[in-house]
Structure 1
């Protein structure tokens, strides 16, 4: 049954916010005694105090994870045991899906209907996916000389550090945590200070599901303290990250300065969407383009915010696209009728708005370009479509992380590919064409971890997600993600 604005407001009023970290399976206070005031960006009202952890708290969490891993209660348990615990965790997430949805919506401003229908159920399904997947992995017995047998197994790494972005707090945490613990590791998570509550609830439910205390720890606080401490920690064996390219580069330095820990970095993007004149349904392409650029307030690392359209259909596409953008009008995140919600903070909205104003000065705003005040908050920006700006303008080059897209015409296939690849990022790309040959030809030449043909930003549990170039390395989702958190061991037995 669908829920109304009043229903969600009543549920939100009953919600309890606890900003304390979870270490060794229990809530504790940060040793510093300091907290960070957390507001709801859609209203500006204070909702909780996030505990500002530091080095000492990270040390305690890593020690708890190390002890839990070394005990073997999880790491050496059979995959059947781990499977059942992960399936139970999935069930508990589904049981409290509305609570997870509200935490993420109130924390970072996204529409609650999306977090309730997609984010929370999808996270539950992913724990189920990895619980089932680990029973279907195979070890190897390669050919060796007579009198010997070699076993090649994939072994857990130990303690995994996870640093999570705020745009999909529960889902992105799950993309890292689920394969890491399924493989037998213990985890210490630094959730985003902007959106910590869903990950904290997850850690509590993990213990309820029968996952041993200390296998999943959550340390709250700023990246400059908690994130840095995790990245430099000598007892963290691997670090998984989603966030900015700048921070990803810092983490590489920290890994080299400490124990040369392994890294899997998803470091953002500036994805392209190529619309060819032989596209079968230009209106559908425009509607999907609006989804690809404005969904989740444009706060998506793989958002298709650079749209290149063959000149013959440029004006027609632009008309459809501007019309489709109207479906993403901002509103109260708890209102099911809202097209998008608020940005994560007024400060972030200020940054995005400065880009809109620069585009207004240097080019043409063909749709949007306003900043409404809703519920007393200025964190809302109308989906904005920009044209006629120079190739080196920031709307082409910078990951804006807001509902702003630029549309540019092209005259040839080669030009389209050159424009699409003319970025330091390589996370995702889309293309629309009615030609099977062109779909293959162009997708092979696009430098992107995922190329979506006649759709946008396609992903699924069974396909890997990650990028090339400065979008990072390592892959989330699919069985390939297990490779981030394991490595090969050869056991050679000589019989004669």
Structure 2
């Protein structure tokens, strides 16, 4: 059984008051038109943190109207890239000044480790803003070599009003993975945070106004997918939607875009990523990497390495050592600096993970370690490792989004490649080997958007991230993310002796 963090009240002084609970439209915090609110819950205890305004179609309409006015007639898309970058850097300064409070908000709302929020998530947010702030004045087109007596060039222009729909597993980081390049491009936006984790998004809206981002440029609508999310996806005056979340919802967004105004869509969807460990690997390092790959952020990460394939020569040693490590993994209060895994985000996700664990048992899988909820208040689940599983079992094929690993044995390189590709997803993969030839061969053979060799979750603001197959299309991070918020305009004029003159 995994160790339990104490979760005592000694950590309570870190818990901030929630200051912002309304919708943010046209630079102001406002109640929803309906007056409805919904509860946001602390997954450490299952208790209500606060009530948050619930936006609906009418509220989305108001936010889109504000964003459209700010785009069509406002200063943001018309100011120089340098000036946009200056304001974005000020935004980053304000985030850094409020780092601990923002990290704590994501801890009480999403169960994320407070230590990682302070050291990784929130610093990555300000870093992301600064990266795209630096790019904002470097957006330019090309001079074209035309085949006739014509002069041609291209302009890169902001796509317009964008809808950004954010998931709950990285509420701060994914807010800015989308908002930062959109801001740099000169777009205006309506952002819908996940209903499970709205409070940090509202704090960012407050800081955006303090930084000098003009009214109407950044709007935040709290609400639910079937109402607020659907209204954004189908809105006739939104030019693009960028979504991170499940494949099932991604399909609905594409359908809504197709049946409305054919708006552009980019999707970063689910995953069931393989981690392949070859015989020549250092077993101790491979075990640490495999646990990180599936237990980081309590398994609530789209590119989790939840399918672990270990070559037969080291399989028994690997299985023994990973079981020992998993049993010593510390699960508990995410404010406790000694804890390695906090609670799942909410009751629904908690019950979904437990359902998959039970299905894995019914299908014939063996629990190597874990397999249960902790006997305490809150949504805590033991790190769980299955053996004796096959690709056709749902515990192996479905994205569980929790601390559940499927551990399997393979013989040859060819078998590893075939089994790694035996999935509808293609978000990421990991390879652990000392053999460069194997690393190169396997990385070129796996159909996935990111391949990590002898590392995992090596994510960087400058490295594009996105999937193949049913893991979606369109890249986050890197300059590719900026380009998806821009469109290309060709400008052509005749020159001397042209037949058009």
TM-score bracket for the superposition, by shorter chain length: over 0.9
Q: CA deviation at 1:5?
A: 7.6
Q: Which moved more, 1:381-390 or 1:227-236?
A: 381-390
The answer for the alignment partner of 1:414 in structure 2 is: 414
Structure 1 contact 109–344 (Cα < 8 Å) conserved = yes
Within-5 A mapping of 1:221-232 = 221-232=223-234
Kindly indicate whether residue 55 of structure 2 is the aligned counterpart of residue 53 of structure 1. Answer: yes
The answer for the alignment partner of 1:205 in structure 2 is: 207
Change in Cα spacing, 1:372 to 1:224, as seen in structure 2 (3 Å) is: same
Out of 25, 37, 40, which is 2:39 matched to? Answer: 37
Out of 83, 99, 120, which is 1:81 matched to? Answer: 83
In structure 1, the residue corresponding to 2:85 is in which secondary structure? Answer: helix
Kindly indicate whether residue 304 of structure 2 is the aligned counterpart of residue 340 of structure 1. Answer: no
In structure 2, the residue corresponding to 1:312 is in which secondary structure? Answer: coil
Structure 2 contact 139–156 (Cα < 8 Å) conserved = no
The answer for the alignment partner of 1:386 in structure 2 is: 386
Structure 1 contact 365–387 (Cα < 8 Å) conserved = yes
The answer for the alignment partner of 2:222 in structure 1 is: 220
Within-5 A mapping of 1:112-191 = 112-144=114-146, 148-191=150-193
The answer for the alignment partner of 2:486 in structure 1 is: 486
Distance 1:53 1:409 in 2: 49
1:349-389 CA-to-partner distances (Å, cap 9, x unmatched) read 11111211232342211112231133x22x10011010002
Structure 1 contact 112–334 (Cα < 8 Å) conserved = yes
Within-5 A mapping of 1:406-445 = 406-445=406-445
Out of 267, 273, 277, which is 2:279 matched to? Answer: 277
Structure 1 contact 17–47 (Cα < 8 Å) conserved = no
Structure 2 contact 155–488 (Cα < 8 Å) conserved = yes
1:152-194 CA-to-partner distances (Å, cap 9, x unmatched) read 1211011000101000001011100000111000010010000
The answer for the alignment partner of 1:300 in structure 2 is: 301
Q: CA deviation at 1:493?
A: 2.7
The answer for the alignment partner of 2:472 in structure 1 is: 472
Q: CA deviation at 1:71?
A: 1.9
Q: CA deviation at 1:8?
A: 4.7
Give structure 2 stretches of 5+ with no counterpart. 1-6, 497-501
Distance 2:278 2:390 in 1: 22
- Aligned-residue CA RMSD in angstroms? 1.5
Kindly indicate whether residue 12 of structure 2 is the aligned counterpart of residue 9 of structure 1. Answer: yes
The answer for the alignment partner of 1:399 in structure 2 is: 399
Distance 2:259 2:389 in 1: 42
Q: CA deviation at 1:7?
A: 7.2
Distance 1:412 1:35 in 2: 56
Q: Which moved more, 1:311-320 or 1:446-455?
A: 311-320
The answer for the alignment partner of 1:287 in structure 2 is: 288
Q: CA deviation at 1:112?
A: 0.9
The answer for the alignment partner of 2:499 in structure 1 is: none
Give structure 1 stretches of 5+ with no counterpart. none
Distance 1:397 1:109 in 2: 26
1:67-93 CA-to-partner distances (Å, cap 9, x unmatched) read 111124010110110010010001111
Structure 1 contact 161–231 (Cα < 8 Å) conserved = yes
Q: CA deviation at 1:324?
A: 2.9
The answer for the alignment partner of 1:360 in structure 2 is: 361
Q: Which moved more, 1:450-459 or 1:244-253?
A: 450-459
In structure 2, the residue corresponding to 1:239 is in which secondary structure? Answer: strand
Structure 1 contact 425–470 (Cα < 8 Å) conserved = yes
Structure 1 contact 298–402 (Cα < 8 Å) conserved = yes
The answer for the alignment partner of 1:459 in structure 2 is: 459
TM-score for both structures, normalised by structure 2: 0.95
Distance 2:477 2:370 in 1: 34
Structure 2 contact 68–161 (Cα < 8 Å) conserved = yes
In structure 1, the residue corresponding to 2:157 is in which secondary structure? Answer: strand
The answer for the alignment partner of 1:448 in structure 2 is: 448
Change in Cα spacing, 1:233 to 1:276, as seen in structure 2 (3 Å) is: same
Structure 1 contact 22–203 (Cα < 8 Å) conserved = yes
